[in-house]
Structure 1
Amino acid sequence: MMRLLLLLAMAAALVACKREAEPAVAPTAPATSATAPAPGEGAAASARLEDVSESTSDYVIGISYQVPSERYPGLAAELRKYADAARADLMEAAKARSTPGGATSAPYDLSLSFTGLMETPDIVAVAADGSSYTGGAHGAPLIARFVWLPKQNRLLTAGELINTPAGWTAISDYVREQLHAALSQRVDADDLPPEERAEVVKNASRMIDDGTQPEPGDFALFEPMQAPDGRLSGLRFVFAPYQVGPYSDGTQTVEVPVEVLLPYIAPEFRTLFAVPSAPPAAASEPAPR
């Protein structure tokens, strides 16, 4: 009995010594600033746009981003949304192709590239160009333009930039004049017989007028034209195939100078544009002797 009590006393002493030797365990602390992402780092990571390359027996997808996306997370989100929508459309079409008897043509194809057009503290512009082939004679064009206002963290639309009917009428008239002139030059170069020439001009002219109605929807795609001082010297309006001409004419553009635009630009955006230089004064004739 005496021996048992002695053993119990020794065991208790060992437990007490062990407790004194071990440090107290603190509750698990959250990650410190050394391991936590720096402010804005998470947004930058989510803004990274990675190229896409996929290839199967049913489809081929290639998407490339050549833009400064990490500096503009909001813009990156818009670009990704456009690319995701184009990819989703192709994948949906590919489902039907992959069914038994559905593969009756070459694999479907999506090719899309984003490139930077302009980057200043006030404006960032990006072009999206490509095509999506889901059967038929040729692919459907994919054309978009993104004009970003970094200081306001949002896209700029044509309807905001010019918000009066008079402004769109002036722009429509100017653009139509340029497109009709270009049409005449192309038809003259083809050296068609008079009857055929008249028919081509008639049909193409109708497409020009239908595709350039004086409303922002027909001018939604535009690119800023940079002046030497960094502001805008005008806008380049972009028209996809079929909008103002047949597919064979491809994408067409018309540059509208600041002299035409400025009277109709919304007041809040006029500082983005360069002040038109005054036309040189007409030289006075020498007085008769």
Structure 2
Amino acid sequence: STYSQIEEYAGGAHGNLAFHPVLWDKAADKPLDPQTLFAPDADLKPAETYLCRQVEAERSKRAQTPITQASSGFGCPKLKSAHFVLIPSTEAGKAAAIDVLFAPYDVGPYAEGTYQIRLPYSVIQDAIAPAYAAQFGGNPAPMPAEKLPPEALSPDQE
């Protein structure tokens, strides 16, 4: 999977952006609707609760004060309307997690910027459609050092 970041300015105080993820079905050689990864009757509440708590934790970290979605005027995000990408696994050809991508205003005010929240397979496994369950496993693969920002590199990697 991959995504594009679309930026638009239509006047006003600032531009805006949106994420457009694409999941590719290699066997069918066509894009896959990301929501088909979830079983139609799946209980998404446990994964959505985890997602909401992770958003709150990141918002609180940025603000340096505790913030809840309810108290901030922004609701908890729903997976059925979320934009996400698959995260490669340490097991070849599999995904180990999904990263949910939030543009400004999705879960917080514009000034907070974007959010990227990781949902490990252990959190979403009960919601994955049986047809895709075998496509998940392992742990998230480490990002190659050459793709990491310089501040993330240890002295021996520079």
Could you say which TM-score interval applies, normalised by the shorter chain? 0.7 to 0.9
Contact 1:161 1:266 in 2 (8 A): yes
Which structure has more RCO (C-alpha within 8 Å, separation ≥ 6)? Answer: 2
Structure 2 CA distance for partners of 1:199 and 1:155, relative to 1, 3 Å: closer
Q: Which residue of 2 aligns with 1:34?
A: none
Larger Cα Rg: Structure 1 or Structure 2?
A: 1
The alpha carbon displacement at 1:272 in A equals: 0.8
Of residues 102, 125, 146 in structure 2, which corresponds to 1:239? 102
Please show how residues 252-263 of structure 1 align to structure 2 within 5 Å. Answer: 252-263=115-126
Structure 2 CA distance for partners of 1:168 and 1:200, relative to 1, 3 Å: closer
Q: Which residue of 2 aligns with 1:222?
A: 84
The gaps in structure 1 that reach 5 residues or longer are: 1-124, 190-196, 277-289
Question: What is the distance in 2 between the residues matched to 1:259 and 1:155?
Answer: 25
The alpha carbon displacement at 1:164 in A equals: 4.0
Question: What is the distance in 2 between the residues matched to 1:232 and 1:243?
Answer: 25
The structure with the greater share of residues assigned to helix is 1
The alpha carbon displacement at 1:275 in A equals: 5.3
The aligned length equals 138
Structure 2 CA distance for partners of 1:228 and 1:248, relative to 1, 3 Å: same
Of residues 43, 64, 69 in structure 2, which corresponds to 1:188? 64
Please show how residues 1-289 of structure 1 align to structure 2 within 5 Å. Answer: 125-164=1-40, 166-188=42-64, 202-203=71-72, 206-209=73-76, 212-213=77-78, 216-217=80-81, 219=82, 221-230=83-92, 231-274=94-137
Question: What is the distance in 2 between the residues matched to 1:266 and 1:199?
Answer: 31
Q: Percent identity?
A: 23
Contact 2:90 2:138 in 1 (8 A): no
The alpha carbon displacement at 1:199 in A equals: 10
TM-score normalised per structure 2 = 0.76
- Kindly report the root-mean-square deviation, in angstroms, between the aligned alpha carbons of the 2 structures: 2.5
Question: What is the distance in 1 between the residues matched to 2:13 and 2:50?
Answer: 34
Question: What is the distance in 2 between the residues matched to 1:273 and 1:140?
Answer: 33
The gaps in structure 2 that reach 5 residues or longer are: 140-158
TM-score normalised per structure 1 = 0.43
Contact 1:232 1:274 in 2 (8 A): yes
Structure 2 CA distance for partners of 1:132 and 1:169, relative to 1, 3 Å: same
* 2:3 partner letter: A
